[in-house]
Amino acid sequence: MSSHSLRARLTWLIIAVQVMVLIPLGAISYQREQHEMVKLLDGRLAQAGRTLGTLIAYNKRDYSDADAERAVTLATEAQRAAVVVAVHAKNYEPEVGFQAYDPHGTLIAATANLADLPPPVKGEHGFRDIEHNGSNWRLFTLTNRFNLTIRIGERAENRADITQGLILEHSLPLVIGLPLLALLAGLAVKQGLRPLDKLTKVLAERAPRSRTPIAIERTPDEIKPLIVTLNQQLERLEDVIEREHRFAGDVAHELRTPLAAATIHLEGALIAKDAGELEYTLHNARRNLGRLGRRIEQILAIARLEAGAAAEQRTSLDLITLATEVVEELAPLIAEKDISLSLTHDEPEVRISGHEVAMTAMFRNLVENALRHTPERSRVDISVHRHGDTVVIDICDDGPGIAPELREKALSSASNAATIRRSPATAWVSASCSAPWSCMRVRSSCSITSPGRACWSASASPSIPQAAASADFVPR
Amino acid sequence: MHILLLEDDIELGGAIKHALEQQSYAVTWLTDGRSGASALPDALFDLILLDLGLPGRDGIDLLLEARRNGVRTPILIMTARDTPEARIKGLDMGADDYLVKPFHLGELAARIRSLTRRAQGLVDNRIEVGGLVLDLATTDVVFRGERITLTRREFAVLRILMERAGRIVRRESLESSVYGFDTVVDRNAIEVHVHWLRRKLSPELIHTVRGIGYMMPREPK
pLDDT tens digits, one per residue of A117-159 = 888 888 888 999 999 888 899 999 998 888 889 999 998 888 8
Long-range contacts of A211-218 (CB under 8 A, 24+ apart): A211/A237, A211/A238, A211/A241
- If one counts every other C-beta atom within 10 angstroms of the C-beta of residue B40, the result is 22
Residues 6+ apart with CB under 8 A from B216: B129, B161, B162, B164, B165, B166, B205, B206, B207
Selection from A33, A50, A59, A54 nearest residue A140 by Cα: A50
User: What pLDDT score was predicted for residue A88?
Assistant: 58
User: What pLDDT score was predicted for residue A473?
Assistant: 27
Q: What sign for the dihedral angle of Cα A464, A466, A468, A471?
A: positive
Provide the residue count of chain B. 221
pLDDT tens digits, one per residue of A223-255 = 888 888 988 988 888 888 887 887 787 788 888
User: What pLDDT score was predicted for residue A458?
Assistant: 66
The DSSP H or E segment spanning A327 is helix A319-329
User: What pLDDT score was predicted for residue A423?
Assistant: 36
As a whole number of angstroms, the distance between CA A218 and CA A228 comes to: 13
Number of helices (H), then strands (E), belonging to chain B: the values are: 8, 12
Task: Answer with the residue of higher pLDDT: B166 or A459.
Answer: B166
Do the beta carbons of residue A297 and residue A360 sit within 8 Å?
no
The CA–CA distances, whole Å, from A463 to A243, A334, A345, A456, A467 equal 31, 33, 19, 22, 12
Query: What percentage of chain A has pLDDT greater than the value 90?
Result: 6
Packed helices B59-68 and B84-92: angle between N→C axes, nearest 10 degrees: 30
From chain B, pick out residues whose CB is under 8 angstroms from the CB of A427: none
The DSSP H or E segment spanning A26 is helix A6-58
Name the residue of chain A whose CA is nearest to B51's CA: A424
Looking at residues A79-88, what average pLDDT do you find?
A: 58
Do the beta carbons of residue A455 and residue A427 sit within 8 Å?
no
The CA–CA distances, whole Å, from A188 to A15, A181, A185, A294 equal 12, 10, 5, 67
Shortest CB distance from A259 goes to which of B54, B79, B102?
A: B102
From chain B, pick out residues whose CB is under 8 angstroms from the CB of A259: 101-102
pLDDT tens digits, one per residue of B34-66 = 888 888 887 778 899 999 888 888 899 999 999
pLDDT tens digits, one per residue of A357-394 = 778 877 887 888 788 778 888 888 888 888 777 788 88
Peptide bond into B102 cis (omega under 30): yes
Provide the residue count of chain A. 476
Selection from B121, B200, B103 nearest residue B157 by Cα: B200
As a whole number of angstroms, the distance between CA B27 and CA B13 comes to: 10
Q: What sign for the dihedral angle of Cα A451, A454, A459, A462?
A: negative
Shortest CB distance from B102 goes to which of A256, A336, A424?
A: A256
User: What pLDDT score was predicted for residue A429?
Assistant: 45
Quick one: pLDDT band at residue A402, thresholds 50, 70, 90? low
User: What pLDDT score was predicted for residue B123?
Assistant: 80
Task: Answer with the residue of higher pLDDT: A287 or A441.
Answer: A287
Shortest CA gap A317–chain B (Å):
28
User: What pLDDT score was predicted for residue A456?
Assistant: 67
Dmax (CA) of chain A: 163
User: What pLDDT score was predicted for residue A404?
Assistant: 61
Shortest CB distance from B105 goes to which of A267, A333, A425?
A: A267
Quick one: pLDDT band at residue A261, thresholds 50, 70, 90? very high
First-residue to last-residue Cα distance in chain A: 59
Selection from B92, B93, B8 nearest residue B49 by Cα: B8
Q: What sign for the dihedral angle of Cα B105, B111, B115, B118?
A: positive
Q: CA A299, A396, B35 angle in degrees (round to 5)?
A: 80
From chain B, pick out residues whose CB is under 8 angstroms from the CB of A424: 8, 52-54
Q: Which residues of A316-354 are buried (b: 16+ CB within 10 A; e: fewer)?
A: ebebbebbeebbebbeebbebbebebeeebeeeebbbeb
Selection from A233, A231, A293, A300 nearest residue A258 by Cα: A293
CB–CB of A249 and B80 under 8 A? yes
Beta bridge partner(s), residue A390: A387
First-residue to last-residue Cα distance in chain B: 26
| Highest mean pLDDT pick, A164-178, A256-270, A299-313 | A256-270
Do the beta carbons of residue A454 and residue A396 sit within 8 Å?
yes
User: What pLDDT score was predicted for residue A472?
Assistant: 29
The DSSP H or E segment spanning A439 is none
User: What pLDDT score was predicted for residue A468?
Assistant: 31
Quick one: pLDDT band at residue A424, thresholds 50, 70, 90? very low
Give the A:B interface size as CB pairs under 8 Å: 95
- Residue-by-residue DSSP string for A50-115: HHHHHHHHHTTT---HHHHHHHHHHS-TTTTTSEEE---TTSSGGGEEEEEE-TTS-EEEEETTTT
- ipTM exceeding cut-off 0.85 for this assembly: no
From chain A, pick out residues whose CB is under 8 angstroms from the CB of B111: none
User: What pLDDT score was predicted for residue A417?
Assistant: 33
- Residue-by-residue DSSP string for B37-65: HHHTT-TT-SEEEEES--SSS-HHHHHHH
Residue B167 DSSP one-character state: S
List the single range of A189-193, A429-433, B36-40, B142-146 with lowest mean pLDDT.
A429-433
Do the beta carbons of residue A267 and residue B104 sit within 8 Å?
yes
Does the pLDDT of residue A332 top 70, yes or no?
yes
pLDDT tens digits, one per residue of A32-51 = 888 888 888 889 888 888 88
As a whole number of angstroms, the distance between CA A239 and CA A151 comes to: 96
User: What pLDDT score was predicted for residue A470?
Assistant: 29
Beta bridge partner(s), residue A107: A101
Q: Report the relative pairing of strands B207-209 and B168-170 from DSSP bridges.
A: unpaired
CB–CB of B102 and A260 under 8 A? yes
The DSSP H or E segment spanning A397 is strand A390-397
Residue A391 DSSP one-character state: E
> From chain B, which residues contact A within 8 Å (Cβ)?
8-12, 14-16, 18-19, 22, 31-32, 52-56, 58, 78-83, 100-106, 108
Long-range contacts of B56-64 (CB under 8 A, 24+ apart): B56/A373, B56/B32, B57/B32, B57/B33, B58/A423, B58/B33, B59/B6, B59/B33, B60/B89, B60/B90, B60/B93, B61/B33, B62/B6, B62/B33, B62/B36, B62/B37, B63/B90, B63/B93, B63/B94, B63/B95, B64/B93, B64/B94
Shortest CA gap B53–chain A (Å):
4
Shortest CB distance from B53 goes to which of A287, A421, A424?
A: A424
Quick one: pLDDT band at residue A294, thresholds 50, 70, 90? confident
Q: SS3 of A177, please?
A: helix
pTM: 0.58
User: What pLDDT score was predicted for residue B111?
Assistant: 94
- Write out residues in chain B with pLDDT < 50, as ranges: none
CB–CB of B103 and A332 under 8 A? no
Residue type at position B20? L
Looking at residues A291-317, what average pLDDT do you find?
A: 77
